[in-house]
Copies of this chain bind each other. A is one copy, B any other.
């Protein structure tokens, strides 16, 4: 019995407190020496992100009958990886962004050297948190570390960032664009969902279905990101709209136009929901996620 009206807002609000608490527990206090580094880490980590990756991790655990509380260390680590990638992506040598989540980017609020090193520290901290605090069999924890490392490394997120930069001001085809998105954004979203499930004893069939679901949520998410950069306003987005166009980035609206981009996003969200047909009500949060990513305006 699945619930088509599952209230994702309430679910997210309920979990955001636990996720915040986990992030705070596993991050050194702001006054730990060197204080400027820890202030910088907390500035970025607690700037009010949507916590999408931790929520997907929790929802992945619940989908296979696990409990979200158990996977909170990994959920926190996923947000640390995401935050590290945003900090480095915003740097002058990369996207050179001034605003993120409605406040100055880290290298505008702190010296650039501290921003680079705070990103590095969060990157390491993510692996430290999983290896130190994630309960479960050592084999399962190692598997999650592999999932995370594969998703954020040169074949995943970082490789996607590089290709994203290389394709600024370049003609691009649909296959390449999709490959960039799959690596830059999709891989970590997908790994978030899967890691929660792996730690909760998912069967191979469940893993396959959730991998498919995560990939499609990732595609929908990134297409909507591209659309919002065209149609959104700075205040809602918390960052300057139109920054993709400014950098002449490869985007779905640029390649397909807005209408076809919207259709593709809805198609991906539908694929994500369809991947969950073998699951019962425990996957309702994930189904609601799939609907949310195409409805969001921020």
Could you list which residues of chain A lie within 8 angstroms of chain B, going by C-beta atoms? 28, 32-34, 36-38, 41, 84, 88, 91, 93-94, 111-117, 119-121, 123-125, 127-128, 131-132, 137-139, 141-142, 145-146, 149-150, 152-155, 158-159, 161-163, 165-166
Contacts and interface: CB of A to CB of B under 8 A. Distances in A.
B113 A154 contact: no
Given A138-B138, A139-B138, A154-B124, A162 B117 contact: yes
Given A37-B162, A162-B36, A120 B123 contact: yes
A226 to B, nearest CB: 20
Nearest to A155: B28
Given A36-B162, A36-B166, A127 B149 contact: yes
B93 A111 contact: yes
A116 B142 contact: no
Contacts of A41: 154
A64 to B, nearest CB: 21
Nearest to A144: B131
A117 B28 CA distance: 25
A149 B163 contact: no
A6 to B, nearest CB: 34
Contacts of A145: 127, 131, 145
A86 B146 CA distance: 24
Contacts of A149: 124-125, 127-128, 131-132
A121 B37 contact: no
B128 A112 contact: no
